[in-house]
Chains A and B, each alone.
Chain A
Amino acid sequence: MPERLHPKSLEDTTMHYCPGCSHGIAHRVIAEVIDELGIEGKTIGVASVGCSCNNYLYFTFDMQQAAHCRAPAVATGIKRVYPDNVVFTYQGDGDLAAIGTAETIHTCNRGENITMFFINNGIYGMTGGQMAPTTLEGMKSSTTPYGRDISLMGNPIKMTELIAHLPGTYYVSRQAVHTPTAVRKCKKSVRKAFEFQKLNRGVSFVEIVSNCNSGWKMTPVKANNWMVENMFPFYPLGDIKVPEDE
């Protein structure tokens, strides 16, 4: 048997996520980077509301669970107490781009020295597949049974591009974790995000475009293919804002 390489920062336990969901991979990417940077002992994470609301059960470092959308405010409070610790939020699209819009914008605008992870799967997974602010035009959900009609429901919001305009953000990137290559690229980006936090130059922000095969009512493979064909054209992967000296 080959040695099982389990990240130290990830509990050796079964996660509750649906088979095929991106959350578990995103958790692992974050845990591996924390291991590699040797920052487990000084990391404090903030979980939010949604499928990942109790992801503190899966990480081995200190965490706080925040109310729906308030993770950036909670992280602000923590970081102001421990400016030398590594503080991050882990939020979904409803959390970060709908109810938490004010907290997201203003935390980025204050340039808090934290890292924000934004899991965008275009749907409210936890509550049963309702429309998210990031739901694509025409996309069906349990509250858009006829597809998202932008004349009635507005456009999907590109939160990541929006906050990239703010001087308080230092590094902004959009990644995915649906293939080994994507995972490797995402990991690089997550690593940069944590490394930049040490520079105290503002928010480092990584969006991870994800599937929700249950919410989308597709098999995991079909969901990933659908994501590539439909989500990526609207939410293109890659760095959106990189520091000038990079």
Chain B
Amino acid sequence: MSKKVLIKGNEAIGEAVIRAGCRHYFGYPITPQNELTNYMSKFMPEAGGTFIQAESELAAINMVYGAAGAGARAMTSSSSPGISLKQEGISYIAGAEIPAVVVNVMRCGPGLGGIMPAQGDYFQAVKGGGHGDYRNIVLAPNNGQELYELTVKAFDLSDKYRMLVMVMADGALGQMMENVEFKDEETPCKVDKEWATTGTSMERKKNYITSVYINPDELEVVNIRLQAKYRVVEKEEVLYEEINCDGADIVICAYGLAARITRNVMKLAAEEGIKVGLLRPITLWPFPKDAVSALADKTDVIMSVELSAGQMVEDVRLAVNGRKPVYFYGRTGGILPTQREILDEIKKVLGKEAE
């Protein structure tokens, strides 16, 4: 049944997992994503699925490898330090082209860092993280409804491309309670997984899942195929939201919670006669390069606002390619920038540009 409920972000992800037809969840506790693991432990058995609290993040991601390699929709979730541990498995999943979903409810680092919200894992998620040339599709929700919808979408995308899809939320989105509408029928996998290891039943040739290619010629062919697939994803799957960018005094590039805060900054700024636009990447990879590049024709100043020391700003600068100045403002350590702080920074930047 379609229904609207007041629910914590982490639990909205959990409900999306169930409704997307995923019946295999492998987790390991870490704050601030624990409500998701708890939710799975309660509702997976009810849905006739598998919940395993693994002995480590490493084991959990490799259970996903096995289950998803056997053709099931499978997922794991964690928070930043735990996602670091999963990187080995993430690289193997990319190499073996297994569809899988990983949720990262980000906290602040580096190291054990703290448990407060952050966006310091952008590089790790978008630029690699594990070894080798590979990409993950990375989705960045900015409210409870998107946590739900993008998690469902993550399963569809992973099946479509045989890729790992990461949902990047931050601690605040995971912990916040919001109204979320659950849809009647989500789309359990419609893709025929004829490559999966299901047992041959003596009806077909063997399937094997692997990322080992000792012969360099073979491995290069695999790499070329992966890159070709990534180019298709870059062409087909870019998602972003653009608000008031045309003729804006300044456009803020921000995702997730930072974008959420920026929406309020836009109202505050308007009261002072400053027109602020927002470009919000929803897919961090593929990055909305063209949309960001086009900002150079729509505004004179661009600023990336992040809960980090400046990570996505590098991609913004690459896309803008020097045609307009690109500034950065961010807070680290788990501290959220206030609307007033961001507005002050906007005024500072505009003042500097006016000189």
Q: Is A41 an interface residue (CB 8 A)?
A: yes
- B26, B54, B68, B96: residue with the most chain A Cβ atoms closer than 10 Å: B54
Q: Is B250 an interface residue (CB 8 A)?
A: no
Q: Is A62 an interface residue (CB 8 A)?
A: yes
Q: Is A166 an interface residue (CB 8 A)?
A: no
In the bound complex, residues from chain B placing their C-beta under 8 Å from that of A74 are 62-63, 65-66, 69
Bits for B173-202, please: 1 = Cβ < 8 Å to A, else 0.
000000000000000000000000111111
A64-B69, A64-B197, A82-B70 are known contacts. Are A102 and B56 too (CB-CB below 8 A)? yes
> Chain A: which residue is nearest B199 at the CB level?
A42
Q: Is B209 an interface residue (CB 8 A)?
A: yes
Closest chain A CB from B219 CB (angstroms): 12
Number of A-B contacts (CB under 8 A): 136
A73 touches B96 (CB 8 A): no
> Chain A: which residue is nearest B68 at the CB level?
A77
Closest chain B CB from A218 CB (angstroms): 26
Q: Is A43 an interface residue (CB 8 A)?
A: yes
In the bound complex, residues from chain A placing their C-beta under 8 Å from that of B209 are 63-65
Q: Is A136 an interface residue (CB 8 A)?
A: no
A81 touches B203 (CB 8 A): no
> Chain B: which residue is nearest A109 at the CB level?
B55
B70 touches A42 (CB 8 A): no
A64 touches B67 (CB 8 A): no
Q: List residues 61-84 of chain A with CB under 8 A from any CB of chain B.
A: 61-67, 70, 73-82
B65 touches A41 (CB 8 A): no
Q: Is B123 an interface residue (CB 8 A)?
A: no
- Interface range on chain A: under 10, 10 to 19, 20 to 34, or 35 or more? 35 or more
Q: When the two chains form the complex, which single residue of B66, B74, B89 contacts A64, counting CB atoms closer than 8 Å? A: B66
In the bound complex, residues from chain A placing their C-beta under 8 Å from that of B65 are 64, 66-67, 70, 73-74, 77
Q: When the two chains form the complex, which single residue of A40, A41, A46, A47 contacts B66, counting CB atoms closer than 8 Å? A: A46
Q: When the two chains form the complex, which single residue of A62, A76, A79, A106 contacts B200, counting CB atoms closer than 8 Å? A: A62
> Chain B: which residue is nearest A64 at the CB level?
B209
B89 touches A40 (CB 8 A): no
Complex Cα gap A60–B205 (Å) = 8
A53-B212, A70-B58, A70-B89 are known contacts. Are A77 and B64 too (CB-CB below 8 A)? yes
Q: List residues 163-217 of chain A with CB under 8 A from any CB of chain B.
A: none
> Chain B: which residue is nearest A55 at the CB level?
B208
A66 touches B70 (CB 8 A): no
* Chain B residues bordering chain A, tally (CB within 8 A): 41
Q: Is A113 an interface residue (CB 8 A)?
A: no
A54-B210, A65-B208, A102-B59 are known contacts. Are A42 and B201 too (CB-CB below 8 A)? yes
Complex Cα gap A92–B74 (Å) = 27
Complex Cα gap A42–B197 (Å) = 10
Q: List residues 90-130 of chain B with CB under 8 A from any CB of chain A.
A: 92, 96
Q: List residues 26-78 of chain B with CB under 8 A from any CB of chain A.
A: 26, 50, 52, 54-56, 58-60, 62-72, 74
B55 touches A81 (CB 8 A): no
Q: Is B214 an interface residue (CB 8 A)?
A: yes
Q: List residues 210-226 of chain B with CB under 8 A from any CB of chain A.
A: 210-212, 214
Complex Cα gap A79–B72 (Å) = 11
In the bound complex, residues from chain A placing their C-beta under 8 Å from that of B201 are 41-42
A41-B201, A61-B199, A85-B199 are known contacts. Are A73 and B88 too (CB-CB below 8 A)? no
Q: Is A59 an interface residue (CB 8 A)?
A: yes
> Chain B: which residue is nearest A68 at the CB level?
B88
Closest chain A CB from B321 CB (angstroms): 39
A65 touches B210 (CB 8 A): yes
A41 touches B67 (CB 8 A): no
Q: When the two chains form the complex, which single residue of B64, B74, B206 contacts A61, counting CB atoms closer than 8 Å? A: B206
Complex Cα gap A62–B55 (Å) = 26
> Chain B: which residue is nearest A49 at the CB level?
B212
B92 touches A67 (CB 8 A): yes
A62-B207, A78-B70 are known contacts. Are A41 and B199 too (CB-CB below 8 A)? yes
Complex Cα gap A145–B162 (Å) = 46
Q: Is A56 an interface residue (CB 8 A)?
A: yes
Q: Is A32 an interface residue (CB 8 A)?
A: no
In the bound complex, residues from chain A placing their C-beta under 8 Å from that of B64 are 77
A40 touches B200 (CB 8 A): yes
Complex Cα gap A207–B207 (Å) = 27
Q: When the two chains form the complex, which single residue of A56, A59, A105 contacts B210, counting CB atoms closer than 8 Å? A: A56
A76 touches B63 (CB 8 A): yes
A62-B207, A106-B59 are known contacts. Are A75 and B66 too (CB-CB below 8 A)? yes
* Contact sample, A vs B, 22 pairs, CB 8 Å cutoff: A54-B214, A56-B206, A60-B200, A62-B199, A62-B208, A64-B209, A66-B92, A70-B59, A70-B62, A75-B66, A76-B59, A76-B66, A77-B24, A77-B65, A77-B70, A77-B74, A81-B70, A82-B70, A82-B198, A85-B198, A102-B56, A103-B62
Known A-B contacts: A41-B200, A63-B197. Give 4 more (CB < 8 A).
A44-B199, A59-B206, A65-B211, A81-B67
- Chain B interface (Cβ < 8 Å from any Cβ of A): 24, 26, 50, 52, 54-56, 58-60, 62-72, 74, 88-89, 92, 96, 197-203, 206-212, 214
Would you list the 5 A-B pairs with minimal beta carbon distance, nearest first? A77-B66, A77-B67, A73-B62, A74-B66, A70-B62
